[in-house]
Amino acid sequence: MADANYVSFVERLQKVEKRHRKLSRGYVRLKEVDGLLIPVPDRRVRRPFPAVGVMLTIAALLAFKGFLLAYHGPITYGERVDLLASGNIVEQAGAWIMRADPITQWIAQQFMSIPGLF
């Protein structure tokens, strides 16, 4: 009989520890139960993939490429990308990423239209 009580105690203790871990991340509101205010844990929805972060990274890369294309000009930029493409496999991957695509060219035109930037 002592073992059954011990198992029951351990189960209750695990439930208390689980609730404590949930509440340690914060709680949203207090719920009234029999005149007592009990904190309700915050239910955060975790996204499996950080889409916003990836989109911001791509936008920053495109802006950087456009700035470089506008600063160096299309001929010098193309020569530097070609030089990068003649390197090892990592440099070739970098050249493929840094090539002047239509979006990059449009962004470069937008940078060039700003007076006094270059």
Domain ranges in the chain?
2-41, 51-112
Contact between 69 and 105 (Cβ < 8 Å): yes
CA gap 93, 87 in Å, rounded: 10
Whole-number pLDDT of residue 26 = 67
Using alpha carbons, select from 111, 28, 13 the residue that is nearest to residue 66: 111
pLDDT tens figures, 5-57: 888 898 999 988 887 877 776 666 666 667 777 777 666 667 788 889 999 99
Average pLDDT over residues 58-64: 96
Element of type H or E holding 40: strand 36-41
pLDDT for position 35: 72
The answer to whether 22 and 41 are in contact (CB under 8 A) is yes
> What is the average pLDDT across 103-115?
94
